[in-house]
Amino acid sequence: MKLPDDTLIAQEKLKQYLLTLRKRNDRSQWLAQVGYTLENWQVLEKDLRD
């Protein structure tokens, strides 16, 4: 599913929720396995839009 071009994706959501290790509901390790890290969070944002 492609997101509409005007979809807002908060940087904080990507960096502080999806890509930061959390005790509960952690997604960061799974995302790291496919190459997404805090250092390249912009790639995740671009891929979500594509």
**Domain spans of the chain?**
11-49
pLDDT at 37 over 90: yes
Q: Can you give the pTM of this predicted structure?
A: 0.81
Give dist(CA 36, CA 30) in Å, integer: 9
Give dist(CA 39, CA 22) in Å, integer: 17
Alpha helices in the chain (DSSP H): 11-12, 28-33, 41-49
Give dist(CA 47, CA 25) in Å, integer: 22
pLDDT of residue 50: 85
- pLDDT tens for 4-24 read 888 999 999 999 999 999 999
pLDDT of residue 3: 79
